[in-house]
Amino acid sequence: SQTIHQWPATLVQPVGSPLSLECTVEGTSNPNLYWYRQAAGRGLQLLFYSIGIDQISSEVPQNLSASRPQDRQFILSSKKLLLSDSGFYLCAWSVSRQGSYGYTFGSGTRLTVV
């Protein structure tokens, strides 16, 4: 069965520190991968998506970057965190084929920048 792992669950980081959040998918190949961010009490904003290894599309300009070094691994990074980077980060995957429309989300990382 397909599963998605995301860690860590919570993170408190000082302003100016680096960030690395990792997401891995099991049980499927060639998934589309997504990073979303949710500000407190708000909807989800798509940050990055990837349709393959080293193929990353950015939806909004920001202080973050994403990489996909392996088919089922998606990493969200920052060199220097800002206070505005605080939020709930969710990784998700989907497959592009007829009959399969689901998007499955990881359990999320709650990031607080202090």
Partner 1 sequence: AQKITQTQPGMFVQEKEAVTLDCTYDTSDPSYGLFWYKQPSSGEMIFLIYQGSYDQQNATEGRYSLNFQKARKSANLVISASQLGDSAMYFCAMREGLVSRANSKLTFGKGITLSVRP
Please report how close the Cβ of residue 105 comes to partner 1 at its closest, in angstroms: 4
Q: Which long-range contacts (CB under 8 A, 24 or more apart) does 57-64 make?
A: 64/19
Nearer to partner 1, 15 or 39 (CB): 39
**For residue 74, what is the enclosing H or E element?**
strand 73-78
At 8, is the secondary structure helix, strand, or coil?
coil
Asked if 98 is part of the footprint of partner 1 (rule: CB under 8 A), the reply reads yes
**Shortest distance in whole angstroms from residue 19 CB to partner 1:** 18
- Should residue 1 be labelled a site residue for partner 1 when binding is judged by CB under 8 A? no
Checking 48-55 for CB contacts under 8 A at 24+ apart, the result is 48/76, 50/74, 51/96
Contacts (CB under 8 A) with partner 1, residues 25-84: 32, 34, 36, 42-46, 49, 51, 57
Q: Residue 100 contacts by C-beta under 8 Å, 6 or more apart in sequence? A: 94
Give the binding site for partner 1 (CB under 8 A).
32, 34, 36, 42-46, 49, 51, 57, 88, 90, 92, 94, 96-98, 100-105, 107-108, 110
